[in-house]
Chain A
Amino acid sequence: MNERYLKYGLLAPALLICAVTLFYPLVQSMMYSLHDWQMSRSTVMGAFVGVSNYVDLVLHDPDFMGSVWVTLIFTVPSVLLTMIIGLALAVLLAGSGKLQVNARMLLVIPFAMSPALIGISWRFMLSPEFGIVDIILKHLVPGMGDTPILSNAAWAMVALILVDVWHWTPYFMLTFIGALASLPQETLDAAQVDGAGSGRIFFEIVLPQLKPVLAIAILLKTIFSLKMLDQVVTMTAGGPGSATETLPYLVYTTAFRYYDIGYASAMAWLLAIVMIVLALIYSRFTMERKP
């Protein structure tokens, strides 16, 4: 009786907020994607055009396909590097020694930094005249010459990837440290007694047991990489040319620089569909792991 109202009453505010700020916009942007709407010309949504926005995107839009490619070039290395370095650092910093504990605390600061600030800061440090990292790099890497890093298509992408790795690695390191700590100690001890080297112990005993955690971590990082946007805006603005114009950035400029709302929404939904598939796989994983 009373209990029943209470149960829904407790839930109502949260559901209301999610309905207004999540579900409504999702449905609405799906609607936009099926209509023609140049907001610079009209303040109301234009004619229904079916799936033609989607068809145009996939079949006739080289900018979109270019952006898909840029997104992939960014995502694959950023995921792989974050995993490898995150795992290496986890092994290095797993102990409870004072040095390790303090190192972990400092490492996590970049992760808690605003992505916008990260982008601007690295733009500063990579800038050709006053950038400290720019100067250090040009002394260390002989072939770089005088190219301003962020004005060179390939280097700008490398910089964007490495900055993203710098940002995310501490987080996955901590995740892996947690996973390492929950491994059963007996198998490790037994292997050590058997005289297995630490390299063999890591690759043959530790790594296989980390597989489920690694799978989820790779999935999550892929999702985070696919939606990465703040650093593109603040660090490279998609440039030089369109060398770092990832999908979220292209959606952003299409919607808020050219005000092509229908087309931008269709693009956003194409990206979202990929994410939904990944999210479904993710929830399958978590559901299984938490009965």
Chain B
Amino acid sequence: MKARDAKQRGAGGALGGRPRWQTVLIWVVTIIWFAPVVWIVATAFKPRADVFSLTVFFKPTLDSLLAAFSPPYLVGERLWNSIVVTAGTLAIALPVSTAAAYAFSRYRFPGGQAWPLILLATQFLPPVIIVIPLFVVFKNLDLLDTRLSLMIVNLSFIVPYATWMIKGFFDALPPDMEEAAMIDGASRLRAIWEVVVPVALPGIAAAAIFSFVVSWNEFFFALVLTRDHAVTLPVALMSARTEQGDAWDIMASMGLFIIAPMLLISRFVQRYFVKGLVSGAVR
């Protein structure tokens, strides 16, 4: 484990430069970690024959993508389901979480500071415990296999996290801000909307990125609650496992659509998503 030298050199790295073995090690690690992602994306553009023969050099084609869009895979519909569910979840979760975060940050409640933490702690429970009763409820309400049911379950994990994240940002803002606006005659609600929310926008954006990533990638709830109409992209992956064997070309095409947004926002993902997961709790 020579890696341990890096920190000290790294700290003064701008001056001294790093030793060669360290540069090599960084390259090796990065390639090992990122190569599988490249391989999957590349597979999506391979001719079908090359998918099953391991060619490294190939002539890119859109055949697999086109096949994925036609029956029985219907990636277009799955993609639309994913978009609607994610957009709907965010549209509800963000205003609700922002309001709750403000309340937790500025007012005292019976039970005090424990509430947001209790909400966060529920997320440590296995999701399977929540999905059994929700399955029964949705079955009784005839809501199984609908996008609405997916939005509702997604809220169960996004609202607690987003509230916790945004609360952290509100906590850092001085309360005099909205109080000054209120002295000028604005109501508390208007002061929040016009003074506090704009300043806290980076925090709300961070929560939005986090919620987007989690909701877009969500698999287990959708697996249990959907069969056909409301199937989202991650669950559609399972349909590439057919009786004639696994259709890896189709799988990779679906995977491409699941990864694409993450690649596009990767810069923000590092900054916000990672913070969101435990949101400062570790620092």
Contacts and interface: CB of A to CB of B under 8 A. Distances in A.
A17 B219 contact: no
B7 A94 contact: yes
A22 B122 contact: yes
Interface residues of A, number: 112
Interface in A181-238: 182, 185, 188, 192, 198-199, 201-203, 206, 213, 216-217, 220, 223, 226-227, 229-230, 233-234
Nearest to A20: B152
A116 B237 contact: yes
B117 interface: yes
A174 interface: yes
Interface in A161-179: 166, 170-171, 174-175, 178-179
A97 B128 contact: no
A15 to B, nearest CB: 7
Given A14-B159, A91-B6, A21 B130 contact: yes
A125 B281 CA distance: 36
B165 interface: no
A132 B54 CA distance: 7
A207 to B, nearest CB: 10
Given A120-B237, A233-B220, A130 B51 contact: yes
Interface in B232-283: 233-235, 237-238, 240, 246, 248, 251-252, 255, 258-259, 262-263, 266-267, 269-270, 273-274, 277-278, 281-283
Question: What band does the interface of chain B fall in when counting residues whose beta carbon is under 8 Å from A?
Answer: 35 or more
Given A13-B99, A120-B237, A278 B124 contact: yes
Interface in A1-29: 2-3, 6-8, 10-11, 13-15, 17-18, 20-22, 24-26, 28-29
Contact of A109 (B3, B103, B218, B266): B266
A257 B134 CA distance: 16
Contact of A26 (B107, B129, B266): B129
SS class of chain A's interface: helix, strand, loop or mixed? helix
A198 to B, nearest CB: 4
Most buried by B among A121, A220, A261, A275: A121
A251 interface: yes
B137 to A, nearest CB: 8
B39 A107 contact: no
Nearest to B126: A227
Interface stretch (B26-34, B62-70, B73-81, B199-207): B26-34
B26 A100 contact: yes
Contact of A108 (B107, B258, B269): B269
Interface in B79-118: 92, 95-97, 99-100, 102-104, 107, 109, 117
7 contacts: A21-B153, A93-B29, A109-B269, A116-B219, A122-B36, A175-B278, A206-B7
